[in-house]
Structure 1
Amino acid sequence: MDRASNAYAKVPEITVAFWAIKIAATTLGETGGDAVSMSMDLGYLVSSFIFGAVFIVAVFAQIKAQRFNAPLYWTTIIATTTVGTTLADFADRSLGIGYAGGSAHLLALLLVSLVVWRRVMGSVSVAAIRSPKAEMFYWVTILFSQTLGTALGDWVADTVGLGYSGAAGIFGGLLLLLTIATYATRVSRTMLFWCAFILTRPLGAVVGDFLDKPVAHGGLAMSRYGASIGLFTFIVVCMLMFKQRPARAPH
């Protein structure tokens, strides 16, 4: 690939390591978001402003970057998942929209984002993200998906009553089916990618809750700070062990 074709390849190639880091990052978003909003007692709204500011700065830096930078990319992903956690909790709990209502509204916003992106840019494929405009659509869509994941995870675990482990089994099972579909069918790889990307967030949300919620509520009662540090360490180790390359241009 020549330098010109690689100029805007600032998102990673989709590999097993990508998905491992993505799930850890979404879980970190849950424990980290709860650590600031609950353990530090700043509340959902103030925490959303804090994480929202971090998200804006990270996206600006990501778009301004000249080439793919793995630490910057994953910092931005973590920023979307932490602000997604506190925004969803603020809407669902503080505003009283509820998990089902919040999930429905966020799903609608996510679908609109994907449709508009497709109409404007011609493709929502990760490999086609090679301009600042495409990156903006990418990060807005990811923010909606991360926020949806929090509400959806809480809805399945709490409202439906499956608990954290049951909800994790549901979302993990759906991801397994998507994996099988990737290798055994001709379904659009772009569609399968976005389905998997969206589902990793509620999986991370319920796993994060399982780690830090009280034993009486079905959790392990781990420290939110300790769980967040452990997840962050795992992400750093994966980044060091598995070198990530930018997504290759479609042929």
Structure 2
Amino acid sequence: MKPSTSEAAMDTDARLWLNKVPQVTVLFWIIKMMSTTVGETGADFLNADLNFGLGATTALMGILFAVALAFQLRARRYAPSLYWLTVVFVSVFGTLLTDNLTDRLNVPLAASTACFSIALMATFAIWYAQEKTLSILSIDSPRRELFYWAAILFTFALGTAAGDWLAEGLNLGYANSALLFGGLIAAVAFFRYIFKADAVACFWIAYVLTRPFGASCGDLLSQPASSGGLGFGAIEASIVFLALIIGMVIYLSLVPKRLNQ
């Protein structure tokens, strides 16, 4: 017997609710870019301002990310606070992966950019071979969610390496880097909405680009004027963006479930 319209709608809602990531909206991109900025300024704050050191900061954020991810994986459905907490932690941890390669192992930023690019492409290739899709509208199984978070981790590490390589290694400067990556994001949006380019490809390209864009903005705000920044400081920048993220996540938690998914 053919299901009724109401039954079909309920089934659609149930499948959407099982998806473990939020709907891609303007608010999604705003929070994501702010989380990338927090990743950059937060790592600098813990490492330098609080004198934790790079090793201790990496270990601490690695543990916090692992704990948040464990709860995220165990959750049965999308929860804004848990999801975005995991994103903030993976943002900081991904930044620290690149910082460790650069500062402790003396790996050139160009090499780090290449390595993380290969790691991300390999993740996508294995993910697609196993699941036949890279769409975030289908993160509805444990294996797909593991692929998703692996890709997210590599996008943050890659974005940090690429952003620092252009801004510092090639002396482009933080402001020019932010303008460059912001322009590339706008170009992706243009091709998606004007020329109807593939939605999945556009999403992941934009997701990668928002990391160096946010990192460049974070460095522009926090670094001293002598280094090409505006000198607001890592503490102030981290607090402002964290407060904005918390406010928007609270809003997402209070609006109807249909708007969250």
Q: TM-score, normalised by structure 2?
A: 0.91
Q: Any conservation in 2 of the 1:7–1:66 contact (CA below 8 Å)?
A: no
Question: Does residue 1:205 correspond to 2:215, yes or no?
Answer: yes
Computing the radius of gyration over CA atoms, which structure comes out larger, 1 or 2? 2
Q: 4+ residue runs of structure 1 moved beyond 3 angstroms?
A: 240-247
Residue-by-residue CA offset, 1:146-198 (whole Å, 9 max, x unaligned): 01111111001011211000000000000000111111113210000000001
Q: Any conservation in 2 of the 1:153–1:203 contact (CA below 8 Å)?
A: yes
Amino acid at match of 1:20: I
The size of the alignment, in residue pairs, is 247
Matched residue, 1:46: 56
Aligned 1:10-29 pairs, distance under 5 A: 10-29=20-39
Aligned 1:135-154 pairs, distance under 5 A: 135-154=145-164
Matched residue, 1:155: 165
Matched residue, 2:101: 91
What is the root-mean-square deviation in Å for CA atoms of aligned residues?
1.4
Aligned 1:60-71 pairs, distance under 5 A: 60-71=70-81
Question: Does residue 1:168 correspond to 2:178, yes or no?
Answer: yes
Question: Does residue 1:193 correspond to 2:209, yes or no?
Answer: no
Please state how far the C-alpha of 1:223 moved relative to its aligned partner: 2.6
Structure 2 segments unaligned to the other structure (5+ residues): 1-9
**Higher RCO (CA 8 Å, separation ≥ 6 residues):** 1
Please state how far the C-alpha of 1:4 moved relative to its aligned partner: 4.3
Please state how far the C-alpha of 1:9 moved relative to its aligned partner: 1.1
Question: Does residue 1:237 correspond to 2:254, yes or no?
Answer: no
- Cα distance between partner residues in 1 of 2:17 and 2:74: 12
Amino acid at match of 2:77: R
Matched residue, 2:15: 5
- Cα distance between partner residues in 2 of 1:46 and 1:136: 26
Identity %: 36
SS of 1:66's equivalent?
coil
Aligned 1:124-143 pairs, distance under 5 A: 124-143=134-153
- Cα distance between partner residues in 2 of 1:219 and 1:53: 31
Q: TM-score, normalised by structure 1?
A: 0.94
Amino acid at match of 1:86: L
Aligned 1:72-91 pairs, distance under 5 A: 72-91=82-101
